[in-house]
Amino acid sequence: MTMKKLLITVVVITGFSVSAFTQKTTTENIPGLPIDTVTKKIMYKGVIQQPGITDTLYYRALHWVNTFFKNPIDVTKIRDKENGKVEGIYRFKVYNTPVKDGTKTEAGLVSYTFIIECKENKYRYKITDLNLKGVSYFALERWMDKKDQSYIPEWDYYLTQVDQYIQEFIKNLKKGMLEAVKINDNW
C-alpha cells in the first residue's frame, strides 16, 4: 500500500470514528435569542397595549403569577401595587439530548428574572439574567459562543429548550393578562 493510500485510509477511518461517536443535536433549529444591545445579555421583552387602569393590570399580573408558579410567594421578590410592578426569580430544568430509548437526563437548572410593569392601557414584561445554577455564575450567553473552549454542540439543544420555555411563559402571560380578575377588597 502506498503512503498516499494509507494516509487517505487513516483520514477516512478517523473521520468516520469521530462522527460516529459524536453526540448529535439539532443545530438547524437553534433560536436567534434576543440580545439586549446595551447589556449584551439575553433579554426577552415586550410592551403590550391593553385597555385597563394600572391597578387592574397589576392585579391581573399578580393573579397570573399566583396561578403560573407553584410557590408564587417565594418566586416574587417585589409586589409593588403603587408602581404597578411585579418582579421575581424562578428556575426550570433543561435536559440532555434523549438517549436511544428516549430517556432524558437532567442537565441543570436555568434561573431567570422576570419583571412585569403595568401602566394605564399597557404593560411591559422583561425576562433577563438567564444563567445556569451551579457553584459559580454561568451566564447562558456563553452557550451561544461557539468559539468558547468549553463549547459542546449540546449547548444548542439547551438554548432551544430555554427559548421554548420562555416563549411559552410569554404566551401564558399574555393570555393571563386578558382574564378578568375579581378583586375582593371586603375584609
**Is 2 part of a structural domain of the chain?**
no
Domain count, the chain: 1
Going by pLDDT thresholds of 50, 70 and 90, the confidence category of residue 187 is low
pLDDT given for residue 95 in this prediction: 96
**Is 10 part of a structural domain of the chain?**
no
CATH number of the CATH domain containing 58: 3.30.530.80
Which among 155, 31, 163, 151 is positioned nearest to 97, based on CA atoms?
155
Which among 29, 158, 32 is positioned nearest to 104, based on CA atoms?
158
Mean pLDDT over 89-109 rounds to 93
Residue 7, all three cell numbers: 494516509
User: In sequence order, what are the residues at sequence separation of 6 or more whose Cβ sits closer than 8 angstroms to the Cβ of residue 171?
Assistant: none
**Is 7 part of a structural domain of the chain?**
no
pLDDT given for residue 24 in this prediction: 38
pTM of the model: 0.78
**Is 113 part of a structural domain of the chain?**
yes
| Domain residue limits at 141 | 29-178
Counting DSSP H helices and E strands in the chain, the numbers are: 4, 6
User: In sequence order, what are the residues at sequence separation of 6 or more whose Cβ sits closer than 8 angstroms to the Cβ of residue 101?
Assistant: none
How many Cβ atoms from other residues are within 10 Å of residue 57's Cβ? 24
- Cα-Cα end-to-end distance for the chain: 93
Going by pLDDT thresholds of 50, 70 and 90, the confidence category of residue 30 is low
**Is 143 part of a structural domain of the chain?**
yes
Write phi, then psi, for 46 (nearest 5 degrees): -170, 150
- Cβ burial, residue 34 (10 Å; 0-12/13-18/19+): middle
How many residues are there in the chain?
A: 187
